[in-house]
Structure 1
């Protein structure tokens, strides 16, 4: 924990993998590097740590049938998740760095319409089993609807990992007015926060969306937690560096052009606003690289 109680997360893996020449294509996305070039994944983890990240996230986001196909998931999903966990743990070894096990949207990013409640366990359990020996935190990230976040928490609990902190990060609808933040399912931020507060979640975050929307969501979340008298629950944020995505968008369709106004110093301005709005866990998502994390660390890690 930093002196001002702000924890620094890492940034996005996908663009870094592409930039460093790792195998990277659709439909596998970042999972391809886990299959063919795990050493590059480890190098990126270490780079984020060297630039100040106190929590690194496993490269397990794309290890779902949506990306790697049903057959490969059935035969290799658990072992690939274990490799993702081990790669992150080895990078963090000997350092004051925690490993967050990424539990992704199981049926496709930004696609709450594809959610299948009866399939959650079959897809989540191999990931949980593979990651469990290596992680300090569970991170259900880029969640588009409340039901899936709750289902992932239940799956972790049923496997006996209730003592490991569970974080949930929601992705927000970018194409609506930022004064009315909602999940991509249309559910309100206030409802999501209330549901998570009753489920034993220790940290609620917002990611894979615009920094402007994140700020407003944090304000709503902070107010909701105060009303619920649950100020023990932490808030956090890690935004994208690319332009707003519409309701029709699907995350990981391709590498979007980056916003010119979200260089490391400009991103830091937003991070400071998030901290004012209640965030104590801050990092970056798609397009946010080690140089951004370095700027965050220099500001907050004092």
Structure 2
């Protein structure tokens, strides 16, 4: 029997599904120091209840899909802190459990809020490198090395009961191809793929999006595709181009428009580059977006404003 697309019920009952916003921004607001190679995954080790609290705040703000704190959680990254593969897998599974716990709490508060989904974050190899290369895609690895890197995290996320996978912030065509092939090892898995871009028609590594879309079209487990962690003012043109290439639902969750400095592990504002997520909803919907949320430096307030536009 074919696996049911977990997004179907959401998208049948709403013009778009509301994703959550930045996790790290809210953790920093709660006193976490994330100037670390593990970024928000560090909090899985040190204070996981804060992660649950952030997920809960986003559900209360109107998010219908929570993205787990596993973006930078990998056995390779945790091994630098002395953790075994089993300990790393347990932390990745915990990232799902925390989101599910927040969902359960919120559904007790508002039983009519469902369905609510948990998307297991699968960040790129570049995030593990912690040098900003998820915005460049300038790392080269064999396909089997990419698969070996991503496999244990995907297994842990699925074992813990993630409803779907968010293969996100992907800048590299070689990595995207390896991930799509890896999914076939887990026939029950469904995923969205979202990219960082050089411009509205090319991945960060320069690969034309038409090549990316044609490759992913051969993978029925990919149920949505789009863009994330790019500036607001670059989103609509890219979505329109993707809409011309694919009939899949599109996903968009940009950052605030600030620029990330991989050396200082900080975001920097440039004039009036920050904008409103809600102010872009109409044009995103026209361009085929069906999953809309925020990435770095966005807040529950931004998500609440999106909910009002739903």
Q: TM-score, normalised by structure 1?
A: 0.85
Residue by residue over 1:206-237, the C-alpha shift from the partner in whole angstroms, topping out at 9 and shown as x without a partner, is 00111222211110111112xxxxx2x11110
Q: Does 1:183 align with 2:203?
A: yes
Cα distance change on mapping 1:268 and 1:28 into 2, 3 Å: same
1:118 to 138, 144, 148: 144
Alignment partner, residue 85 of structure 1: 96
| Residue number in structure 2 paired with 1:254 | 265
Partner of 1:17 in structure 2? 27
For 1:167 and 1:58, the matched residues in 2 are separated by 14
Match of 2:155 among 126, 129, 146: 129
2:47 is matched with which residue: 34, 37, 41? 37
Q: Distance in 2 between matches of 1:74 and 1:220?
A: 43
Which stretches in structure 2 are left out of the alignment for 5+ residues? Answer: 1-9, 108-113, 128-133
Q: Structure 1, residues 10-65: CA drift from partner, whole Å, max 9, x if none?
A: 01111111011134221221111111010000000000000010000010011136
Moved more, 193-202 or 252-261: 252-261
How much does 1:285 deviate?
0.4
Structure 2 residue aligned with 1:239: 254
| Contact 1:103 1:139 (8 Å CA) reproduced | yes
Report the equivalent of 2:299: 289
Secondary structure, aligned partner of 1:192: helix
Cα RMSD (Å): 2.2
3-state SS, counterpart of residue 292 of structure 2 = strand
- 1:149 partner SS: helix
Change (3 A) 1:64 1:111: farther
Partners in 2 of 1:253 and 1:216 — Cα distance?
31
- Check if 1:202 corresponds to 2:223: yes
TM-score normalised per structure 2? 0.83
Once the two structures are overlaid, the 10-residue window that deviates more, 84-93 or 29-38, is 84-93
Q: 1:258 to 1:268 in 2, by over 3 A?
A: farther
Q: Quick check: 1:189–1:217 contact (8 Å CA) kept in 2?
A: no
Q: Distance in 1 between matches of 2:150 and 2:229?
A: 21
CA distance, structure 1, for counterparts of residue 57 and residue 168 of structure 2: 22
- Structure 1 unmatched runs, 5+: 226-230
Task: Give the C-alpha shift of residue 4 in structure 1.
Answer: 4.2
Shift, 1:268, TM fit: 1.1
- The equivalent of 1:104 in structure 2 is 123
